[in-house]
Structure 1
Amino acid sequence: MTTTTQTTPAPARVATALTVWFAGSAIGAGALLAVQPMTGLDPELFVLVMLAPAIGAATAWPLIRGREPWSIPRVSSQRLATSLLVALAVVAAYFVVVSVARGSAPNVPSQIGGAPVVVFVLLQALGALTEEIGFRGVLLQGLQRWLSRPVSGVITGVLFGLWHVQYYTLPPLQLAAFILGAVALTLTMVYVMSGSFWQRMATCTLIHLGANLALAFVGDDTIQMTTFAAAIIAGGLVAALLEYARRR
């Protein structure tokens, strides 16, 4: 008797994993929001709720680890380096567009939130990684069980934008621009990242961190969200041009 290996993951298992991730992230977010004031940690330095998507991923990890659609082959170091270089070019575009819009060069202060700027950057890198693990690691890959990469990217980007509830008080146009930027950010990652789960997380974290630092060091978190969206879209265009050149 011949045994056939099933390569397509069961829809119910993928749906269960995403449901567990969402529930774990939501519960984790509520707990972290309650804990933040007790820690005395300045929100300007780090917002604990950024850890919640990774908490959700840890909750769902037994359903995800080593299984499709989350189990992805590694790529060579050269291919990963190419993805990271493209990500750096994307980040450079973010800084250029925000700098032009603000009419000022990046300004790196010695301290942010009462801590050295190096600590700020490390904490922002941690927060970017933990959000990426949840959204572009678990959610985006899971949605591709049913949907194409672009459609999965759009849905993930919208949900990632809506995750940032602190922007709900913005005027409708500015909120819409932020969500558009979140979608453009995700689509950029979709076409730049490559390789295994953790290789993809390295590329996505670099792009995410770059967007955050462009706002912190140039925009001072006071720029219009329309400018933010323009910067993210410009970064996506840079990535597309570099990918076209690479294929040629």
Structure 2
Amino acid sequence: MTTTAQSALTPASTRRVALTLTVWLVASLVAAVALLAIQPMTSLDMEAFSLVMLAPAIGAAAAWPLIRGRGPWTLPTVASPALTVSLLLALAVVAAYFAVISVARGSAPSAPGHVGGVPIVVFLLLQTLGALTEEIGFRGVLLHGLQRWLSRPTAAVLTGVLFGLWHVQYYALPPLQLAAFVVGTVALTLTMAYVMVGSFWQRMASCTLIHLGANLALAFVGDDEIAMTTFAGAIVVGAMVAALLTFARRVRGNAD
């Protein structure tokens, strides 16, 4: 943590950030329990959309009065070229996910006409919504809040671990596969932390694209049945692709 960041940590701001994260976490957990109870009452198949994906954004809405217009969530907007680079990096990362899982499965991506009883277009819209709402909570509220105290990589690792543990449906996996999934969510968060730029919503655009790409790579190539070690490998390769492209861009910029 830099001296500047430490000097900004007044007792009042520290308490406010801690309170914000507490409100977010409690509200998200309550919302998750409620949404899990509501899901069976709907006709919506969880394969098409899991309502619990909305919970992190509901938690963010509950904490919004403490967030709006205040650091560390108030971030400067970047110009279109910088955002475009961020989104292109995100697309390169997603391409790596598809490539690695395709090689591991020995099959090309395939999009069915319907998923979970809904047309593929509706499925894509629902998955985009779910990725965005989870990103608002985890990489939007939690990651930036933790960076009030921690360095960016440390905050990303902790956020990634908590995001992995949020997926309780994977607790039934063998320990090695569960551990691999958490490694994947940590690599996913580290990738996002270094790819995203700009304001809160600009950052959410890049993060949502990466998150959606990971989900679709599983759905359209892995058929949601690949080993989590393969998933983690794909996410790690995506992180390496982002790092190499960023490094190459910086070297080119210095050369110019």
TM-score interval (norm. to shorter): over 0.9
Corresponding position of 1:77: 80
Are 2:122 and 1:119 equivalent residues in the alignment? Answer: yes
Q: Give the % identical residues.
A: 73
Query: Could you say what the CA RMSD is over the residues aligned between the two structures, in angstroms?
Result: 0.9
Residue 26 (structure 2) aligned to one of 23, 27, 34: 23
CA distance in 1: counterparts of 2:47 and 2:20, whole angstroms: 33
Question: Helix, strand or coil for the counterpart of 1:44?
Answer: coil
Are 2:219 and 1:216 equivalent residues in the alignment? Answer: yes
Corresponding position of 1:163: 166
CA distance in 2: counterparts of 1:187 and 1:21, whole angstroms: 21
Are 2:86 and 1:53 equivalent residues in the alignment? Answer: no
- Normalised to the residue count of structure 1, the TM-score between the two structures is 0.97
What is the Cα deviation at residue 214 of structure 1?
A: 0.1
CA distance in 2: counterparts of 1:139 and 1:204, whole angstroms: 13
Are 2:39 and 1:36 equivalent residues in the alignment? Answer: yes
Corresponding position of 1:197: 200
Retained in 2: the 8 A contact 1:32–1:52?
Answer: yes
CA distance in 2: counterparts of 1:86 and 1:118, whole angstroms: 25
Corresponding position of 1:134: 137
Are 2:56 and 1:67 equivalent residues in the alignment? Answer: no
Question: Helix, strand or coil for the counterpart of 1:170?
Answer: coil
User: CA offsets, 1:144-176, max 9 Å, x none?
Assistant: 010000000000000000000000000000000
- Partner AA of 1:65 in structure 2: R
Retained in 2: the 8 A contact 1:71–1:197?
Answer: yes
> Could you list the runs of 5+ residues in structure 2 that have no partner in the other structure?
1-6, 252-256
What is the Cα deviation at residue 246 of structure 1?
A: 1.1
Are 2:17 and 1:14 equivalent residues in the alignment? Answer: yes
Retained in 2: the 8 A contact 1:88–1:207?
Answer: yes
CA distance in 2: counterparts of 1:85 and 1:194, whole angstroms: 12
Are 2:193 and 1:182 equivalent residues in the alignment? Answer: no
CA distance in 2: counterparts of 1:246 and 1:33, whole angstroms: 44
Of stretches 6-15 and 93-102 in structure 1, the one that deviates more from structure 2 is 6-15
CA distance in 2: counterparts of 1:239 and 1:55, whole angstroms: 30
What is the Cα deviation at residue 116 of structure 1?
A: 0.7
What is the Cα deviation at residue 7 of structure 1?
A: 5.1
Retained in 2: the 8 A contact 1:8–1:68?
Answer: no
Retained in 2: the 8 A contact 1:86–1:192?
Answer: yes
Question: Helix, strand or coil for the counterpart of 1:12?
Answer: helix
User: CA offsets, 1:53-109, max 9 Å, x none?
Assistant: 000000000000110000000001100000000000000000000000000000110
Corresponding position of 1:3: none
Retained in 2: the 8 A contact 1:107–1:217?
Answer: yes
What is the Cα deviation at residue 8 of structure 1?
A: 4.4
Corresponding position of 1:228: 231
Ranges of 4+ aligned residues in structure 1 off by more than 6 Å: none
- Partner AA of 1:93 in structure 2: A
> Could you list the runs of 5+ residues in structure 1 that have no partner in the other structure?
1-5
- Normalised to the residue count of structure 2, the TM-score between the two structures is 0.94
CA distance in 1: counterparts of 2:102 and 2:83, whole angstroms: 29
Corresponding position of 2:3: none
- Partner AA of 1:29 in structure 2: A
CA distance in 2: counterparts of 1:45 and 1:69, whole angstroms: 34
- Partner AA of 1:151 in structure 2: T
- Partner AA of 2:217 in structure 1: A
CA distance in 2: counterparts of 1:207 and 1:137, whole angstroms: 14
CA distance in 1: counterparts of 2:112 and 2:157, whole angstroms: 35
CA distance in 2: counterparts of 1:180 and 1:164, whole angstroms: 13
CA distance in 2: counterparts of 1:208 and 1:147, whole angstroms: 23
